[in-house]
Structure formats: structure tokens, C-alpha cells
Amino acid sequence: MGSHQSPAADTTTWLTPPELIDAIGVFDLDPCAAPSPRPWPTAMRHIELPVDGLAADWARDRVWLNPPYGAQTSAWLAKLADHPAGGVALVFARTETAGFVREVWQKATGVLFLHGRLHFHRADGTRAASNSGAPSCLVAYGHWAAVALRDSGLDGTFVPLHNVHSASLVLEGAAA
């Protein structure tokens, strides 16, 4: 969570508000899904601990990524940025950090900065009373992902980026 306003600091399982994912679309894979039984699906396929989703093969799945918080967040974003099928990540809008510069500003195809602050959900699905304590943004990797964020209708400001997601272009070109 973002700061001292975190509802709790003793868990890394803070679930994405389901309406957020519903607004963006259907994803093939969540590689760091909440432990079963999870209150709602976040994708067609889930990888959960003890399987390491960071080391796993993401195949050609379109990925939903709300990664574990902390130092490891950048490694998850780096894997998504290199992932041929692309995806969307939900992260804190810490736009000045080295990780954000390297993995978002220099690699993403667009960012939707959410207005207001999110209320994440606990593992049992209940909504946290406190907000996340920091601003959040959705990050697109791949052309389709940028379009999905732009057209999501979510309350935020979409910023297109001109990075070339070359692996994704190869796939989208092959499908055309």
C-alpha cells in the first residue's frame, strides 16, 4: 500500500477493485493472483503461490498484473514490458522513481492516471475502509492495452506514450 494510511501493513494481498478490471476487459492470465479461494476471478487463468508467477511461462496470454508491492514490483513490470502479448499493470503513480522511469516512462504504450484514490479489497473480498494512501495508475504494454485503457470509461486521465512495444507489434502484425 502507499503510505502510513495503509489499512494494514501485514499482508501483500490487496485485491484490485473488481469494477476496475471489468471496465478494461477480459484478461487471459493473472500471474500473481490472490490465494484460492479468491472472491472473484481476475483473468481466465491464475497463477498463485507457491507457484512463482514471476518465473512462470506467460505463454501468449494477455496479462492482468497487480504485482506484489515493494522492491520486486519493478521486476514484474520488466517481465510484462518484455511479454509479447502485452498487458495492463496496476501500480502506484510514483512517477519519479527509477523503476517507474525505466519500466513505465521508457517502455509502456500508455498510462491512465486514476482520479482519486482506490480502496483495495481484502483477501475475503471486503473493501478496505481506508483508501490506498497514494495515487494509482494503470499502465499499458502493447497497442491493444493502450486502446483498452483509453476507452475504459474509468475516471482518470489517459496519457499515450510513444514507446514501441516491438514484441507486441510482431504478434499484432502476424494476426492482421
Ligand X SMILES: C[S@@+](CC[C@H](N)C(=O)[O-])C[C@H]1O[C@@H](n2cnc3c(N)ncnc32)[C@H](O)[C@@H]1O
Any contact of residue 140 with ligand X (CB under 6 A)? no
Q: How far is the CB of 54 from ligand X (least distance, A)?
A: 5
Burial of 154 (0-12, 13-18, 19+ CB in 10 A): middle
167: which 3 cell numbers?
514484441
Q: Which is nearer to ligand X, 54 or 171 (CB)?
A: 54
Angle at 31 between CA 59 and CA 140, to 5 degrees: 80
Cα separation, 159 vs 113, in Å, equals 8
Any contact of residue 30 with ligand X (CB under 6 A)? yes
Give me the 59-98 binding string for ligand X, x by CB under 6 A, dash otherwise.
-------x-x------------------------------
CB count within 10 Å of CB 135 equals: 18
Any contact of residue 35 with ligand X (CB under 6 A)? yes
40: which 3 cell numbers?
472473484
Say which amino acid occupies 71: A
Q: How far is the CB of 89 from ligand X (least distance, A)?
A: 10
Any contact of residue 53 with ligand X (CB under 6 A)? yes
Q: Which is nearer to ligand X, 108 or 138 (CB)?
A: 138
